[in-house]
Amino acid sequence: MLLPQEIIRTKRNGGSLSKEQIQSFVDGLVTKDFNDAQAGSMAMAIFQKGMETREIIDFTMAMKNSGDVLSWPELEGPIVDKHSTGGVGDKVSFMLAAIVAACGAYVPMIAGRGLGHTGGTADKLESIAGFNVQPSIGEFKRIVKDLGMAIISQTDNLAPADKRLYGIRDITATVESIPLITASILSKKLAAGLDTLVMDVKVGNGAMMSNIDDAKALAQSIVNVANGAGVPTQAIITDMNQVLGATAGNALEMAETVKYLNGTLREPRLHAVVVSLAKAMLVSAKVAENEDKALAKINSVLASGAAAEIFNKMIHALGGPSDFMEDPWRSMQRANCIKDVIALDHGYINGMQTRDIGLAVVGLKGGRTANGQQIDHSVGFDRVLPIGTLVNRGDVLARVHAEDENSANLASQQYQTALVIGEKAAEQTPVIYQTISA
């Protein structure tokens, strides 16, 4: 093995890493010959100096091959997945996987945990009593074959190099690096044996990429590297300048997922993102000939309850209750203290510091400040009002769910501070910005 400090030095000085150096780094992540300090230093060097496309492809493939690589000879239909770069209130994966599976594709989704101020899909699923986010690979494959979908977290043997680096990035302020994001996402996705991939690249003040140029750069990087690695991929850039949907927090987002799939609450912006990604997945997987036919299929499986049924069966198959869709709170913990967040002024909600709201959820212990930390799944915000809403002084802006009254009061103040209230309604940002496919 090459000396870790010499590999770090090469990148720190702005050099291009050889395939051998990248392989040595990835091997060291698995064997721990790169200790935590060295792995953090390497992440920071990559963050500051970047990587060429060739380096990112080598890095992605090395992490992909650091553990198990799945294949699906037993499946007759297309294998497709989606990944989001993360945001606040982003529970899209749940309804999207259920919709696409109900339309006839297979969705073996391997999801991450929370990173920085953003929530994690695996953490949200663990809100449900008994749910096992780390089944055996054999069990995962069986559920995907039987139901058309399963959502799990990384197993110890699936891209283990990325699993270790992911946790280190979370606590070393190196989350937003385009090469690290690209390689992290694609190493997991390529290890899942996909036929095609659709990316949801978030942009805005609640996303890792806060401006459109950075979001385009990340989207292009992912598309270039994935296509270079042999998996047809497109990226859709979507808005994260406000909480997506009406909730932010693990159990609260699972409850909103149930309402969405049952048809009792489909927040318009959330619905627009789900439908846009679902259409792209169905067309790219050749389940639908075009977007119009894809939309007809999506509407059909939502109206018939087929998507809701598949989601409920997946929850049960992975250890959760058999009646999750009927009463999600029977198997999830409610917070001790639930309190209204009150508007201090009259006017339109013209802006939202979405990252600050995500950090408020972390402050409530709904996210991690140290690697491996236990989180409180019950905390967060619900009944979130969207930008553009006219409020009067004393109206309810949202509800905070907290462990105790002091935590609730602090989070309520943070939420109020995160909103911009104005006399006139400001222009809304689009929900969908653009698609990058080559």
The Cα–Cα gap between 47 and 425 comes to: 38
Q: Is 83 a catalytic residue?
A: yes
Q: Is 53 a catalytic residue?
A: no
Which residue of the set 117, 164, 169, 365 is catalytic? 169
DSSP 217-257: HHHHHHHHHHHHTT--EEEEEEE-SS-SSS-BSHHHHHHHH
Q: Is 82 a catalytic residue?
A: yes
Please name the residue ranges forming H helices in 103-198: 121-125, 137-147, 160-170, 178-191
HSE at residue 259, side-chain half, CA atoms within 13 A, is: 19
Which residue of the set 11, 82, 266, 368 is catalytic? 82
The Cα–Cα gap between 242 and 436 comes to: 23
The Cα–Cα gap between 371 and 375 comes to: 11
Write the single-letter amino acid at 7: I
Q: Do the Cβ atoms of 111 and 122 come closer than 8 Å? A: yes
Question: How many Å from the N-terminal Cα to the C-terminal Cα in the chain?
Answer: 36
Q: Is 19 a catalytic residue?
A: no
Q: Is 49 a catalytic residue?
A: no
Residue 321: phi and psi, rounded to 5, are -70, 160
Which residue of the set 66, 182, 184, 233 is catalytic? 184
Strand (E) or helix (H) holding 315? helix 306-317
Which residue of the set 91, 117, 163, 188 is catalytic? 188
Residue 209: phi and psi, rounded to 5, are -105, 110
Q: Is 189 a catalytic residue?
A: yes
The Cα–Cα gap between 123 and 133 comes to: 9
Which residue of the set 81, 123, 195, 382 is catalytic? 81
Q: Is 90 a catalytic residue?
A: no
Q: Is 331 a catalytic residue?
A: no
Mind telling me the catalytic residues? 81-84, 121, 169, 184, 188-189
